[in-house]
Structure 1
Amino acid sequence: MLDTVRQIETPEGVSLQLHAAGAVPRAHAWLIDFGLRAFVAFFLLMILGMLGQAGLGLGMLVLFIAYWVYGVVLEVWWDGQTIGKRVIGLRVVNADGTPVTLLPSVVRNLLRTVDGLPGVYGIGLVSCLMDPHGRRIGDIVAGTMVVHVMKRRAAGQVPNEAAEPPPVPLHRDEQEAIVAFAERARGLNEARQRELGDLLEPLTGRMGNAGLRKLVAHANWLLGRT
């Protein structure tokens, strides 16, 4: 039931940490969604029951939407979150960290029938406990996972480094590129940081970590820091 972290590196060299949700927070989100759907369906069925046979047919449609359509629609068009997942702070994503799309969402929701066997999500619970990323059968087949929504770090944070002016005048776009790199470098793995920093060795006169520190110093100076 413990949450785990899945480390993914994108083709651009950016390291992503997906904090996989365990069985407990997922169960809480499911209970919220189930209670909400049950309440709405019960209320609508009471009203539709007054319409006779026509109301019965509409009632079956309501139950179908509540059970099958609810999850897919919200996951695809509401940033991977049902109401229960949003309350708990969870999100469905593809296994590579990209937003979940229609087909994977349909597959994972259809396979709830399997995960629900033999009752009260027995198979799904066993799968969540055995899988290193807390996935039920539907997630494994669909190539999805449920992760915690992590608070984003404040944007535009250049590391502290004594400000130093560039050795040569820079055009505006060059200044913006240096500041942008200093702001985003911590989102890249160390090898990718050094690789990009080494490209600016003619400006910094340094390679490796020394070159990176020099770039940060130039960024701080361009931002008017002392």
Structure 2
Amino acid sequence: MNRHPREHAEPIDTLRLRETPEGIDLGLRVAGPVPRALALALDFLIRGGLYLLLLPLLALADLGIGLALLAIFAIEWFYPVVFEVWRGATPGKRALGLRVVHEDATPVGLPASTLRNLLRTVDFLPAGYALGLAVSLADRDFRRIGDLAAATLVVHDERPATRRGPASTAGQRPPPEFDAATRAAILAFAERAPALADARRIELAEVLTAPRGVRGTAAPALIADWAAWIDRVTPDGRAA
């Protein structure tokens, strides 16, 4: 089951197909150096604000300095790992609509996140992330050394577009050729959709919507409309 690239994908942030453990090929739009650099800058500012909060500890002389150094170490090394494992991305990445995943599109785990962030010291060499930038520009998926070692990707976390206007409570009638089994599958998908990753939700929805020319974030929305209509009718097809 394959996804199709968007027609208007940016030249630097391109769609890549990755096979999930379930054997489904998901389209992931990998993030290029520009959004990743902006996210890094935001995270730097956030960490800087946290460091400023530690200044009162300096008034405690040697004990305060020791506590401050421990806190700085924890912020510098655990800040990205905690947020990536907990939320899939640091606050800076989330602000830019990015997230970190394994190469098979599954959520990043603790070992991979720890490794990719430990290797930031190598990516930083000789200064200003010069080596990491050079490696990412040479890699088709814009992976820095940490990503290559941890088998991770930074991708755009695409959310379904907000629908304009009031939501339709009646939904939309599905195509007449859909049999009872297909309609049951639509209802099951609508129930499971909130628990699915965005890329997986779009992938599954397009199975039914792609032949009708509906792709991307519009596909789950159309399935939801069909499910709303089906849920409001009796088995013989009359309005409930």
> TM-score if structure 1 supplies the norm length?
0.71
- Which of these residues, 56, 64, 82, is aligned with residue 47 of structure 1? 56
Provide the aligned length of Structure 1 versus Structure 2. Answer: 190
Q: Which residue of 2 aligns with 1:128?
A: 136
The aligned counterpart of 2:211 is: none
Secondary structure of the structure 2 residue equivalent to 1:134: coil
Does residue 177 in structure 1 map to residue 184 in structure 2?
Answer: yes
Runs of 4+ in 1 over 4 A off after TM superposition: 157-160, 180-186, 220-226
Give runs of aligned pairs for residues 147-162 of structure 1, distance below 5 A: 147-152=155-160, 160-161=174-175
1:6 aligns with 16
1:76-126 CA distances to partner (integer Å, 9 max, x unpaired)? 112x11110111110010011000000000000000000000111001101
Aligned to 2:75: 66
Q: Deviations over 1:165-208 (max 9, x none)?
A: 85xxx7xxx57634348979973599x88xxxxxxxxxxxxxxx
Query: Could you tell me which amino acid in structure 1 is paired with residue 122 of structure 2?
Result: V
SS at match of 1:52: helix
What displacement does 1:4 show? 1.9
Change (3 A) 1:103 1:53: same
CA RMSD of aligned residues (A): 3.4
Q: 1:111 aligns with which of 112, 119, 140?
A: 119
Partner of 1:36: 46
Whether the 8 Å CA contact 1:93–1:147 is kept in 2: the answer is yes
Partner residue in 2 for 1:217: none
Q: Report the alpha carbon displacement of residue 152 of structure 1 after superposing the two structures with TM.
A: 3.0
Q: Counterpart in 1 of 2:66?
A: 57
Match of residue 86 from structure 2: 77
Name the CA shift for 1:186/1:160 in 2 (closer, same or farther; >3 Å). farther
Structure 1: 5+ residue stretches without partners: 194-219
Query: Which one has the largest radius of gyration?
Result: 1
After TM superposition, give the deviation of residue 14 of structure 1 in Å. Answer: 3.1
State how far apart, in whole Å, the 2-side matches of 1:165 and 1:84 are. 44
With structure 2 as the length reference, what TM-score do the two structures score? 0.68
Gaps of 5+ in 2: 1-10, 163-170, 194-200, 209-228
Residue 108 of structure 2 corresponds to which residue in structure 1? Answer: 100
Change (3 A) 1:221 1:54: closer
Alpha-carbon distance in 1 for matches of 2:157, 2:202 = 20
